Amino acid sequence: MNSHELFEARLLPCQDEMWGLYASLYGDNWDSFSYFLGMLERSLDQRKPALREQDEKRLANPDWCRSSEMLGMMLYPSCFAKTLPGVQEKLPYLKECGINYLHLMPLLDSPEGKSDGGYAVSDFRKVRPDLGTMEDLETLADACRENGIALCLDFVLNHTSEEHPWAKAARAGDPVARSRYFFYDNWDIPNQFEWTVPQVFPTTAPGNFTYLPDCGKVVMTSFYPFQWDLNYSNPMVLNDMTENLLYLANRGMDVIRLDAVPYIWKQLGTNCRNLPQVHTLVRLIHLACQVVCPGVLLLGEVVMEPSKVAPYFGTPERPECDMLYNVTTMCTTWSTVATRDVGLLRHQMEQVCALPRTYLFQNYLRCHDDIGWGLDYSWLAQWQGQGEVPHKKYLNDWFTGRWPGSWSRGELYNDDPRLGDARLCGTTASLCGVESALVSGDHDALERAIRCDLMLHAWMLSQSGIPVLYSGDELGRLNDYNYHGDPAKVDDSRYLHRGNFQWDQAALCRDESTVPGRIFQGLRRLETIRGREQVFRADAEVSLLEPENRSVLAICRQYGGEELVALFNFSEHSQSARCPEHGWTDLVSGQKVDGGFLTLPGYGFLWLKK
């Protein structure tokens, strides 16, 4: 069928719902909705044959992303290979890593020095010049597709850079451009917002508004003063931002990461987080993709408490995000490393296991961002008598090496002594103790740190969803302190784990007499096992077991008549844990295990299959 016939066929099942959602936000505004539909048809017409063919394949196999073979990596193109053509040249290395899902960190045009790591976009259809061109991005996407690698790209929904053409026109007085943002003549309404809206960065960017002396106006800036919040109560914003998203999908992106999605609807008198209209907007964007690019997935970045995360999946009948960051499990995992007590992690996993098996998470240990301690403090207070502030202080003291006996090396981010709050930065290896062991020359400490690193990755690989490595973690990359000498970065400790990729370390990936080689090959063995075992599929049934030891987490995975029990020792000391008494085989060592009470070495783990 031709492009118009395909558009009509895909639109028909969802047009009534689409209009109902659109009208709930913008009233009986048929002109704007007609523009929206015309934009969708235009975007579909621009989608090239290779992408349409892939859409059809994925419609026929919607579970392609739930395979146990899925393995991701997130990286900054500039840090990894300097440019997009450079990333393409390094695809053989990514293939050696077993990667089939590549998440490229922000690469769209943004002002130098006012980019927030690329999240202040000045042009949604232009690549940062130092990285290449949009043609380079599309060529890389084509090469990834030919190599069986799905490509993910960030899309900033909440705001634009103050250098975006819309923002420049608004600053110059254009009323239409100003209607795309939140402009005020004085501080009266902004001050009313401040009563109920929390601050995102209270130490580095306090407040939610910025005064513009050149035009005498106040503009909403929830994140940084150079990031102007978009006003989605204006239908032009939804129409144009959706078209920008589809433009990127048509360049060959397989997954679009929706950055800061809980913030995109603002309403006076609320906290401007997770409002019902946010879910309406995300559902509309999902329907737009369903019409134009049904093979593309939406990945939601929802850094919120667990009760706020799951609703962003929508429902099986009316999905919103196809995949979500598993932020809380990541945070709780690191908390467990410091406490050696799996109680909170069990509690978190009980909630995850209760979710529908169709829900898809992106699981990770580290990423480009800091670790914010978004834990279930009400549970900690009730069951372990731990208050939020002292617990956060202990975690931060442990992971920065301040706590007596700590071998972890990290740095704080956005430390706010008034609230007793701070976030944490550092690479997986440095947080596990590899850095301090290498500095001290302590062989036993190094062995312990490497076991901790591999155990945590085994735990990440055992969770349901798509496991994603942070570039460099596959080699045990250490913290990069060079940012302390860079005036443009020194105030942002997240650059501690955003250093340049060390290709000299990658050259050692096959040499198991080295730390990079031991971690790389250890991970590859685990990833290979995971890839061939269907019981690791994202839609497997997962339940918790009782190992009768507070330092050991035990789970059971079942799929297609197969069963796997996995045990993880979060203590540096040997621990005894109970395992169901069956005839098991350890997938890692190949040894037979009878079950009963088993001894796990410090930071040891077992993958046991019947």
Residue numbers annotated as active site: 259, 301
Task: Fill in the DSSP letter of residue 59.
Answer: H
Name the one residue in this structure whose structure tokens are 């739930």: 66
The token pair that represents 52 in the structure block: 């349409």
Place of tokens 């523009």: 35
- Residue 488's contacts (CB-CB under 8 Å, 6 or more residues apart) are 113
Sign of CA dihedral 46, 48, 49, 50: negative
Residue 516 to residues 456, 477, 479, 504, 512, Cα–Cα distance (Å): 16, 8, 14, 10, 8
Amino acid (one-letter) located at 513 = S
The C-alpha atoms of residue 75 and residue 496 are separated, in whole angstroms, by 14
Distance, in Å, from the CA atom of 289 to the CA atom of 246, rounded to the nearest integer, reads 7
Residue 479 CB partners (closer than 8 Å, separation 6+): 409, 410, 411, 426, 427, 430, 435, 496, 497, 499
Specify the amino acid at residue 141. Answer: A
**Residue 210 three-state SS:** strand
Helix H or strand E segment including 596: strand 596-600
Q: Is 97 helix (H, G, I), strand (E, B) or coil?
A: coil
Q: Which residue type does 468 have?
A: V
Q: Whole-angstrom Cα distance, residue 38 to residue 36?
A: 5
